[in-house]
Each structure stands twice: as structure tokens, then as C-alpha cells.
Structure 1
Amino acid sequence: MDWKIELIFVPVTDVDRAKEFYVEKLGFNADFDQRVTEELRFVQLTPPGSACSIAIGEGLGGSLAPGSLDVIQVVIPDADAVLAELRAKGVEAEGVDEQPWGRFVTLRDPDGNRWTLQQLPDYSAA
């Protein structure tokens, strides 16, 4: 039986600002944006090439404060290229942090939620 993580909630204060950042700056696909009720708005965004999406919105009942998320790690093909692309789009990204287990770029969304982007080591060379 397969278990697939398909949606992660990211707490934000301003849904439109966050959606613009993720779509315009990071290149996420805007899959869904629906105001279900006056109190509930659900927005689903998917990183390019990912099977897992993020959800932002209003009234979703998350227990995390906006800006407190710092546990998402995403695999990328080339840390140098991604860092250059992010900076060209005006994203304040840190990197490249060289470690034996990968090369890392970090960034924060407008609320301060921290993302870690990892280029995996080339295990075929070992």
C-alpha cells in the first residue's frame, strides 16, 4: 500500500501576497483558489515537477503561526542555477551551503516561513 504526501499547509498572513510570491517568484502552479464561505478560502499551489502541493488560505484551522514553518525541504537539480534564478527574481536566498550530504539553498517567504532546497550529492561518482 502506497502512502503519498500530497498537501502541506503553509501558514501565511496575507493569502494574495503569498500566492503572488509562490507563483511569480518561485514558479509554483496555481492549481486552485476558491472562497468556500466568507470565512474559508482555500488555495492550492504546486512546485514545478512536484507531486506534493502546498495549501494557503483563510480559515483553514492550522495551529502554526504565520512565519513559523521551517521544516520543508525540496530537492532541486542544480543549487547554483536555482540560486541565480531566485536572486534574478528578487528573492532573498542564502546559499550555496556545501555539505557532504548535499548543496543547500535557503529562502523565506514574505511571512518568514523557511524553505530548504537541496541538490543531492552525485552518488554515482562514489
Structure 2
Amino acid sequence: MQSYALVTGGSRGIGRAICVKLAGMGYPVIINYKGNKTAAEETAALVTAQGQEAVLMPFDVADKKEVESVLGKWQEEHKDCVIEVLVNNAGIRQDALLAFMSDEQWHSVMDTSLQGMFNITKQVM
């Protein structure tokens, strides 16, 4: 059975560094990203430079149905593979003092940073 690593928010920053490190440790890496395909492709090139497969997987971690659809499809098509390493890195911030933060800003942060972690972890389990 082939083991993979999945990194949410893996297209840039800390997520990119984690993807490259995991590739260096011998894992093929599933790179999740929400919208920046160019950055995700750059990360994929760094992973393949480490001699590992890079799988680009665009979806919004906060959207449970999208997680189930996209990640679930990959799992269904790769029954001989397992996601052995999961790094819930996706997160956003809305820089505002609580007194000035709108309900929309609050829910956006919570949906991505907390609900997203739940959605991904539950699907991988």
C-alpha cells in the first residue's frame, strides 16, 4: 500500500515548506490549495525535485461537500493508497480587533481554521 502525505494550504508559506520536507522524507505529497494554482504548481515542482509525486488538489477545506467530493473521489480512485500523514495547515486570519470584527469575518476564520480541520480529518479517517 502506497503512503501519501496531505498538506492543506500547501501552496505557499509554511505549507510549501512542509510539502518539501515531507517529500524529502520520502512521501508523495497531496498539495491542497483553494485558489492560487500558480503557487501550488511551484510547490509541486519543488516536491518533484525531491523525487516524489506531487498531486494538486484544489478545494476549500471549509466546504464539507467539496472536501467529500474531491478528496473522496481521489480516495475512491486510489484504493491501494493511504494518507499516512495529514497536516492541517490551511487557515486564514482577518486582522481586526474583536470590537471591530464583523460576524462574517469571524465565521470565515472559524470555518476555515476549525471546521476545515474537522472536515479533512474526518474524511481521511
Bigger RCO (CA 8 Å, 6+ sep): 2
TM-score by length of 2: 0.29
More strand by share: 1
TM-score by length of 1: 0.28
